[in-house]
Structure 1
């Protein structure tokens, strides 16, 4: 696999970050339809009921916990075998 120069990787990362930021902003029509604390963040019509907030909150909790568990298991694997896939990834 061809390795790209550092400046090219940095440039691609900067374009990705700034490009994603500009497309994530809500338009003026969507801002008017959102509740006060979601204005400027999301697109489309506002939540239709309180269940929408509950579902999104549960998804956020599950996602944050999954990310935490992934980092924890990758940083401190319990398996000490050198043939384990985690040790192969961490110690190439």
Structure 2
């Protein structure tokens, strides 16, 4: 069984077990049962978190893209010197 499948099946179960009953009542419907605390104070909190998620996903995509298919073709490049 693939690791991705295991994580996809495990995440919904783990999210429901994170928050206590008092915190579930304080959270907005979107976040109920996921986290402890009072929840976001304003819509700016959602905007900030959304921007951070977009930046993080793009950074991960760019890093993986550069690792999988680098554009350096020069044989004197440090990467090629190490590989050879």
Q: Structure 2-normalised TM-score?
A: 0.68
Give the Cα–Cα distance (whole angstroms) in 2 for the partners of residues 28 and 87 of structure 1: 58
Q: Structure 1-normalised TM-score?
A: 0.63
**Which residue of the other structure, out of 28, 34, 53, is the alignment partner of 2:46?**
53
CA RMSD of aligned residues (A): 2.9
Matched with 1:71 is 64
When the two structures are aligned, how many residues end up with a matched partner? 71
Secondary structure (helix, strand or coil) at the match of 2:62 reads helix
**Which residue of the other structure, out of 9, 19, 39, is the alignment partner of 1:26?**
19
What residue ranges of structure 2 are gaps of 5+ in the alignment?
1-9
What residue ranges of structure 1 are gaps of 5+ in the alignment?
1-16
Higher relative contact order (CA 8 A, sep 6+): 2
